[in-house]
Structure formats: C-alpha cells, structure tokens
Structure 1
Amino acid sequence: MQFPYYIAKRYLISKSGTNAVNIITLVSVVSIILGTLVLFIVLSAFSGLKEFNLSITSIIDPDLKIAPASGKTITLSPDQEQQLNSLKGVASYSKIIEERAYLEYDGRTSLAFLKGVDEQYLDVTQMDSTIFVGYWPSTGEPEVSMGLLVRKRLSINVGDYGSLVTIMTPKPGTGQITDPTQAFNSSKAMVSGVFQAGEALDNDHVFGNIDFVGSLLDYPVNQISTIEFKLNPDADEDNLREELNAIFNNNIIIKNRIELNDALYKMLNTENLALYFICTLVLIIALFSFVGSLIMIIVDKRKHIKTLSDLGATLPTIRKIIFTQGALMIVIGGAVGILLGAILIVLQQQFGFIPITAELPYPVKFEVINIVLVYATILILGFLAARLAATRINRKLIEDS
C-alpha cells in the first residue's frame, strides 16, 4: 500500500505537462469543494429552520398532554389529583376544558375552538407571550383571549365591556333535538386580548379561564377534557407515561410535543430528506468532471504507467495508484468544503448576514451529524467515482503506451 500511496501523492502535488489537464484537475477539485460546501450549508440551514419552527411549538404546546381514550372528558377524582401532585419529574400541570363554540358579535359570526385553562396553564406553556394586544384573561372573570384571525372576522373591540362577544356551545346530553333554540348554552364575555401564535391557533382558538368555560358547558368541577404537563429537564418520560397510565387505569392517550405535531415533524423530515437527495444529485453531477479529470490524468500519464509496468508493477497496483490519487482529492476537497461551510455557518450564527426580516436573521444550526453525513456522502460517492476511473486502465492501454 505504501508504494501506490507514494506515487499517487507525487502525482497529486506535481503539475502535469499538459496545461489543459492541470485546469481540468483544478476545476474538478473546486467542484468537489463547492458541492460539499453547498450540501453542508443546505443541511445546516434546514436544521436551523427546523429548530426555529419547533421552537414556536415549544411556546404553545406542553411537554406532555393526556386526553381520554374514549369520550370527550376525564373525571378527575381527589385521589387522582393527589397522585398527580406527587409525580416526580413534573414541574407543573394544568387542567383544561376544550369544546367547539360558535361566536357572534354585531351580526358577524365565527366558529371557534374554545379552551378553558386554569391559573397553572401559563406555567406549562408561554401562551401569554404571544399576546400583542390587551392581556391574558383574568382568573374567574368572563373574559377571553382570541386569535388574530378570529378577531379580524368579528371586528370586535379589545378590552371594551361595551363590546361583548356571545359564545354558544352545544348542550351536553343525548337524544334528538326538537327545539334548536334549546340546543346551545350561551354566555357573553369581554375580549381581553388578542394573540398571534401561528395560523393554526390564530384562525380559530379562543382561550378563557376554566371556571367560565366549565360553567358555560355545565361541567362539574371535577370534569375536564385534558391535562397538560411541563416536565423537569431531568424527567424520565417513559417512566411518567407508565405512572400516568396507572393513575388513570390505561383509559387515557398520552402524547408528547413531537406526537402533538406529528404532521409538522413528518413534513420537516420529508423536506430535509428531499433536499439531501437533491443536493446529492448535484454532487453526483459534479463528480462526473472528477471522473473525467482522472481519465485525463491516466491518458497524460500513459508513459509513466508503461514505465511502472516495465518495472514490475502489476495492473491492480497501477489501478490502485490512480484510485488513491482520486481518493486523496476527494478526502482533501471534502474536508476543505466542510471547513469553509462550517466557517460560513458560524459567521451567520454570530452576525446574521442573511436576514429573513430586518430583525430576524436566517436560522442556521451547526450539527456534528451534518458533518458526518456530508463527509460520508462525498467519500462514498467520490471513492466509487475514483474506482470507476481507475478501471479504465487495462492491459491494452499499457501495451499501446
């Protein structure tokens, strides 16, 4: 192995007698560097974009959420609540009532998803940080905070007791409805604030305190829809799942933040995979010039190859020389590309040269996994390309030199 490596290294650092070969070799090395650079930057940029999107969900979504396995509500006994209070790894939890509602104000209407939350809700999530007009509903008051798009449809004043929104919810019960006017519970509330937390919530969500919403729905005090949890950093999620299932006799569905946003995670992962394959395809195209440059080197070095053969070098050894030269070009070019990409990513993180808005730089994230993935990709594809070029050397080419 020392002999092929020594000759390949000499070929790599020495100039060819033909200027065109030198230019083609330089272009192929630059294409390897640029291909690696682009692939690394794209993956790092997407990692940053993915983290940015998921950071938004961390504001509005809990670490864990439990819902009834069947039906719409959970009856929480004092004993169960005591067990919840004693759970290790739980920083806080919030009891929540959820129901579809119909809003009406001054002849304008809107369907909404009404969510009644207790005073611990803001310890579990940071929803109050999304309020940009008004304030979060006060405990025990007939006040609601609604999404930006809901408020836009109703055109209602904020913080004005002279502008009350009518909230109607279906009455619980069974059997056929004979009088539509008796099918709904109705109450009025003041809009205390408007939040902006993403289109999904802005379009239909309305928050109120749990007492107001529970009274509107005629729910007993111990009847709720879901419970949301904020976990300690060192919490064992699997262990907590087992304990929660034991408390509620396996009659609940437990979801973490990823499972609550499974569609978003699947979309982001799919887009990441698609971008990786597209950039890899570009890299494969760039490697065609690399194969071409190695073939040109073989043609240029025919007399040297003939000399090596006359000195006793076998055909596999000569092929190994060309393969090793190509492998060195790939290893060096890939390393330089990743190094340049890492420098650009760090500079973007520190100075935000490329902005999304005037105040928001494009998010990027430096991850070791991206370095490993990019370098493994360029090495595998590059070694295959070098091997393909080395097979062009055969006994006839040596004899005709």
Structure 2
Amino acid sequence: MHDGHGFSTRAIHAGQEPDPLTGAVVPPIYATSTYKQDGVGGLRGGYEYSRSGNPTRTALETCLAAIEGGTRAFAFASGLAAEDAILRALLSPGDHVVIPDDAYGGTFRLFDKVAVRWGLRYTAAPITDLSALTACMSEGTKMVWVETPTNPLLNIADIEQIADIAHRHGAILVVDNTFASPYLQQPLALGADVVVHSTTKYIGGHSDVVGGAAIVRDDEIADAIAFHHNAMGAVAGPFDAFLTLRGVKTLGVRMDRHCDNAERVAEFLAGHPKIAEVRYPGLAEHPGHDVAGKQMKRYGGMISFRHKDGEQAAVDVCARTEVFTLGESLGGVESLIEHPGRMTHASVAGSALEVPADLVRLSVGIEDADDLLADLRQALG
C-alpha cells in the first residue's frame, strides 16, 4: 500500500494500519507466547507461537522491509544475532567469506572466534581497494561482507561495484547499513543481496532497546533466513519490537539533525590544532567522499578523529567531555564519545584489524550544536 510513498510516510505507516477492532493508531504490544487455534491447525492470521511469529514483530518487519526497499525483513534480538543467522542460513562449512579489514569488532569476533570453529574461512580485505578485494576472491568465496561507512574508521565501500565483483564470482553481498541507516543509504537498490542492521543504533534511536534486523529482496534467501530465524530462535520480543517501531517513525527527522550537527563538529575538529586527522565522509579530503556522495543522501552522524598527542591524550579527551557521554554504542539522540581501542574494538586488539590507539569515536547526537562544540573545545583544552 505504501510502495509509492516517501521515506517518512513509509516509516510511519507501513505495517502500522490502525487496529480494525478499536481504531488504535499504534500497533499494540502482543505480550503473548501462544495463540488459540480454531481446530487443529486452524491459525488466525498464521500465528501459532511467538518465536515463529508475533503481530508486533510483524509490524516492525513490514516497516523495515518498506524503508529498506526490500520484500521481507526479519527482526532479531540483537545485531549480532542477525549476523549469526545470516551466516548459518546462507553458508556451509568450508565456504569462504571476504570481510572488511576494519570491520566492527563484534563482527570480527563472530567470524574469527565462532564461525571459524564450525568450518567457515574468511579473509580480511580493504573494502576501498577493489583490486585487492577482488584478489581475495576464490572459487570457495560464497559471500562478501561490507560495512559502509565502516566502524570506527569511517571508510566507504562502493556498494554497486562490490556487488558486481561479488556476483561475478558467484557470491552474495551482505551490507551492514547500521552507520548510514535506511534513510541515508539503500544498499538493496545498489545491488546488495542482504542488508543487516543493529537496530539498537539509529533505527531504534533512543538507546533504550537492543535489536537487529536482516532485510532481503530474494525469496530463496528470505526463506533460508526465515527458517533459521525460527529454528535458532534469536527473535525480537514484542516489547523490543514496539520500542524499535516507535523509534523508526522519527528516523528521517533525527538523521537530518544528526547530519547537521556532525557536519559542524567535523568542521570544528578539522581546524583544531590538536587533531591529527578527522575521519568523516562529508569532508572533501575524505578518500571516500565522492563515493559517499554518490550512494548516500547525506554523510551521517559518526565521526572519528586521531589525537596528535597519542593514546593517553585521546583517552583523556573521552574522560573530560560533559555533554558527550562516555559510553559504547551509537546512534541515539544523545551524543556519545568512546575510545575504540579500549572499548568497542578491544576484541580486535593484536589482530590485523587493530584500530589506532590515538583514535576517538563520536556518535554526534541531536542536542544543540553550539553546546557540542563548546564541550569538545573544553575537552581538547
């Protein structure tokens, strides 16, 4: 019904028709584990047990498919639960995957410490160097996995070109779209086969719920993920689905404000004498600026920077902010600051994916920009 409508119209209405019985405009929380059957196998609306399906979760999944331009979506208990189900649904022992050489630490840990134990092989490749990425492809490569922008280095992958490379080699492309959000980037339209999100981040948007999602267009891929979604059971509960759906409604307006604020913060940091490098795709000097401009609506709310005075100075900045809260995660309305090397990316320490020790990551929130700039100014000293 909402196919021809704009993004925010779909975000507010898809899967969320007023309740036919009461006229309630918000889908209710169906806090039930099971459903009455009208005779053996006589299911009302197809619901039999809430691991297999729950109307609140269905509303969220319908909405997520609509805003990502997919046909089917699956809501999980966390982003990593979604990633795990994608790997198990679409790969077999012995298969090879190409992953980013600057992947999110949790994604790397899932491949390196979990998937490898049941026979998966992976190679970490630079997603910005297409010839190097192509060189990592082999006959056994069944999947290419990218984030764009990457976490925490904010590198940009050319989704269209990487989809072409993956498909030429008979592999599928999975894109982690968490940093951009569906509002700023639509990987399925650019050739990706699966989009994955930590809905904890921008989609939920309020730092009050943990969740994940996988969105697809292809029926065969959808059926495989659907089977594992139910068989493994890491599903989003109705309360979490309700909160996530509540967040989705304001995704467009929030992302606009995140981007407005991040652009001002990035400009400020780029001119600061204590900053060695600012990584933000919206800056003209960012190596991925042109590709990001081609495939993203705007450049997002995430910024990383390197401190000229090294690791301890970077850690000290994180301790001194007052408006920016020191904490992990990202994508909420409040601004967060963290030291990836000791916090979100500690799991890649000592590996090829280790992040620079002098790196600080900002999740720029939707507070007043002047307050954010003043806070960073005092924290940098």
TM-score bracket, normalised by the shorter chain, equals under 0.3
TM-score normalised by length of structure 2 = 0.20
In terms of fraction of residues, the more helix-rich structure is 1
Between structure 1 and structure 2, the one with the greater Rg is: 1
Q: Which has the higher contact order (CA 8 A, sep 6+)?
A: 1
User: Hey, which of these two has a bigger chunk of strand by percent?
Assistant: 1
